[in-house]
């Protein structure tokens, strides 16, 4: 299936057209992912050339280059997303009413935009970083949608994607990719913002060793009012060289575990349609198998996540 057929098909269905575009888009992307980006080889003589009055432009812009054919494909792939944002997203209404309508969210789900970088084997679009960035140029037309999608996939589910085990990926990613489940990222606390190491939320191992009981409060959580799955960071007590020490651990927490309550949405100056609120955890029982990475390894997860993904939060803004 080439891109033109994909576009023709996506236009042919007045309703459910986005679902169709999603499936056809996946086939286009499979072909796209097989191609590699061309890069220029580096030359160590760039400075010398300057003294000789020559500017090697390829060295000034040493970024991967997208081939013409691929560029055309990318531009055509984004067409259904552009169409949706220009025809069906009412940003003034979203901002005024401080909420994203259910039908708009459903449209985003049908386009596959809740699983942009989730691999196809888990039900996502499996796009490259380049494609994600390109799609975000359109998504960012509405700040509230951009924040909602970024909180979901650039940080909310990203811990599972980069540090989760196979069982966790199989269990959680498909529903997150389709948007049936929404994710949130829970790190910030009333006394802990930039200094993430000072969080006070605590996870205590249950007597039978099967669960961690999480208690604490997080603030400024995007998607916090309706998220089904949350990546939650909490202190855990560990024995290091015979001494007890607190270390941060990352957990996958389902709203369905119980003991989770959300505050009312913050009435923000901008991005008013994104749902930012306080989320409290009261002895939430989280199975030990829901630890992301290793116990005490939460900081590694956080650093890995932010080193690559914060870029996408900003791209979307």
Using CB under 6 A as the criterion, which residues of the chain lie in contact with ligand FAD when the complex forms?
151, 185-188, 193-194, 220-222, 276
- Report yes or no: 230 and 186 within 8 Å, Cβ to Cβ: yes
Q: In the complex with ligand FAD, which residue's Cβ is closer, 110 or 278?
A: 278
Q: In the complex with ligand FAD, which residue's Cβ is closer, 161 or 221?
A: 221
> Which two three-digit tokens encode residue 171?
């269990």
> Least distance to ligand FAD from the beta carbon of 277, Å?
10
Residue number with the smallest Cβ distance to ligand FAD: 193
Q: In the complex with ligand FAD, which residue's Cβ is closer, 46 or 306?
A: 306
> How far apart are the C-alpha atoms of 309 and 302, rounded to whole Å?
10
Q: In the complex with ligand FAD, which residue's Cβ is closer, 83 or 255?
A: 255
- Report yes or no: 220 and 188 within 8 Å, Cβ to Cβ: yes
Q: In the complex with ligand FAD, which residue's Cβ is closer, 36 or 194?
A: 194
> Least distance to ligand FAD from the beta carbon of 132, Å?
19
> Least distance to ligand FAD from the beta carbon of 216, Å?
12
> Least distance to ligand FAD from the beta carbon of 281, Å?
13
Q: In the complex with ligand FAD, which residue's Cβ is closer, 11 or 300?
A: 300
> Least distance to ligand FAD from the beta carbon of 158, Å?
12
> Least distance to ligand FAD from the beta carbon of 213, Å?
21
């Amino acid at each position: 299936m080439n891109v033109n057929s994909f576009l023709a098909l996506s236009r042919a269905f007045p309703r459910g057209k986005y679902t169709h575009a999603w499936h056809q888009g996946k086939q286009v992307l499979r072909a796209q992912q097989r191609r590699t980006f061309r890069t220029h080889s580096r030359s160590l003589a760039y400075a010398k050339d300057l003294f000789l009055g020559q500017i090697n432009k390829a060295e000034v812009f040493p970024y991967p280059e997208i081939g013409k054919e691929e560029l055309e494909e990318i531009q055509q792939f984004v067409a259904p997303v552009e169409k949706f944002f220009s025809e069906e997203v009412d940003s003034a209404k979203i901002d005024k009413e401080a909420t994203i309508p259910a039908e708009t969210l459903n449209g985003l789900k049908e386009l596959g935009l809740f699983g942009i970088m989730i691999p196809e084997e888990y039900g996502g679009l499996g796009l490259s970083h380049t494609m994600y960035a390109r799609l975000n140029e359109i998504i960012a037309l509405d700040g509230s949608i951009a924040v909602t999608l970024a909180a979901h996939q650039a940080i909310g589910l990203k811990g599972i994607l980069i540090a989760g085990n196979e069982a966790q990926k199989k269990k959680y990613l498909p529903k997150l990719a389709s948007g049936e489940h929404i994710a949130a990222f829970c790190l910030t606390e009333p006394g802990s913002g930039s200094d993430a190491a000072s969080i006070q939320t605590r996870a205590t191992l249950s007597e039978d060793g099967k669960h961690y009981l999480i208690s604490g409060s997080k603030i400024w959580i995007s998607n916090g009012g309706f998220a089904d799955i949350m990546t939650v960071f909490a202190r855990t007590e560990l024995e290091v060289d015979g001494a007890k020490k607190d270390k941060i651990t990352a957990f996958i927490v389902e709203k369905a575990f119980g003991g989770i309550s959300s505050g009312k949405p913050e009435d923000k100056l901008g991005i008013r349609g994104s749902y930012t609120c306080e989320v409290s955890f009261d002895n939430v029982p989280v199975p030990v198998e829901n630890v992301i990475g290793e116990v005490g390894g939460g900081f590694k997860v956080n650093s890995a996540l932010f080193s690559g993904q914060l870029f996408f939060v900003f791209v979307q803004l």
